[in-house]
Amino acid sequence: MKLTLNLSTAPSPHERYALAWAVPTAVIALAGLVLLSLLAVRNFREYRRVHRWVLETEQTEARLRRQEMTLRREFERPELQQVYRQVHFVNSLIGQKQFSLTELTEKVSKLLPGEVRLTGLALPRGEKDPVVRFTVAGNSEEAVETFLSNLEDSADFAEVAILNQGFAQEGAGQGPVTIACAARYVTGRAP
């Protein structure tokens, strides 16, 4: 007689569920592993890209630092130091500039009516409030008188004096009217 013995135990419901869920769990775990691997590869590539950018930036910074040192050594040469001192001196003189001829001309031009033109401008040097001499020519006496009025009313000029005047001759037709005058320029200061 032969006896057959089955020593295995009957599967429990937990074991049956574990076996049924093993395959889907393995698939999900494998998908998670693939996803994590892809993220790791992407992060590694990003790291490499940033690392290359940092290296390039450091190389550029080192190159610029070398150029700066070369330029500093070049600038510290004695002949360039002399040029630098001269430039600094000229810039300080420009900074001390107190009088502008273009500014004076602009102010006078604003006082001129349309029919009057400035034909001469003289300015002596060295005075605190320089006396400016004007020569103007106009189409009529009224236009020249308007200029003199504007000059007297201006806050930039004081002590207006007529030095010379030339009017058109009676019966000679209309000719230019010229006048020479002087005024103290109180806005500007002579150098």
| Tokens linked to 151 | 């000059």
108-123 pLDDT per residue, tens: 888 888 888 888 888 7
Alpha helices in 76-128 (DSSP H): 78-95, 101-111
6-20 pLDDT per residue, tens: 777 777 777 778 778
Cα 105 → chain centroid:
28
| Reported pTM | 0.45
Instruction: Name the class of domain 101-185.
Output: alpha beta
